[in-house]
Amino acid sequence: MFDFTGKTVLITGASGALGTALAARFSQAGANTVTAARSGYEELAATLQGPSLGVRLDVTGESDWAEAVARTEDRFGPLDVLVNNAAYLRVGTTEDIPLDEFRRVLDTNLTGALLGIRAVAPSMRRAGGGAIVNVNSVAGLAAAPGLVAYSSSKWALRGLMRAAAKELARDHIRVNAVHPGIIETPLAYGPDGTALVPVGDLPIPRNATPGEIADFILFAASDQARFATGAELVADGGFTLGPLT
């Protein structure tokens, strides 16, 4: 359905459940796929059917970003697509979350995306344009009690996306967001295995599969979405509609 033949795509947080699904789908669509993560990146790259490269990337480090982009360009040339997928979640309320953990969540989810956009923009200009997709969350659209740090980071990420979309538009670089609902990944559960957000009363009463959300992200990154920038695509199973009962 999507054709990324000859396009170079970098995915952060690639070794997680959604990142793995994204890497597989971009590779199947013909992309030069760069899997970027703090661990597991080379092993994942080796499983892909198309041209691939695994790079170590801590999204909070500017030098890591510079190295990841340089290695990508050395192998494949300028970047066409960035998926800011890396995320960190810490359960905690406004009153009880440790301050260092609040800062760690923002550093990963918000500052990491800023550094990514900053690092890839010159490469995308050399490519003649590109697409950046920030993986956001329904926690960036609705109140998320008990997830104050995660929700704060995702609301702020919306502002970053919109500002970057305006700033980069004349360079033919599109910046959009996908807001998934609850995905069937370890992030959906607390340390004791209890679901952080029950979904049984939602219009679609289940968690999304990583592949379902990957399809939305590929659309946002593809030429089929070429007229969209600063847009927010929601794939939440009706979460923002509220429960049926």
Q: Looking at the annotation, which residues are catalytic?
A: 150
Q: What is the DSSP string of 197-227?
A: S--TTSSS-SPBPHHHHHHHHHHHHSGGGTT
Cα 89 to Cα 61: distance, rounded to the nearest angstrom: 18
Q: Is-contact 202 244, C-beta < 8 A?
A: yes
Helices assigned H by DSSP within 37-134: 41-47, 62-76, 99-106, 112-127
Q: 118 is written with which tokens?
A: 């900053």
List % helix, strand, coil for the chain (3-state, nearest 5). 45, 20, 35
d(CA 44, CA 39): 10
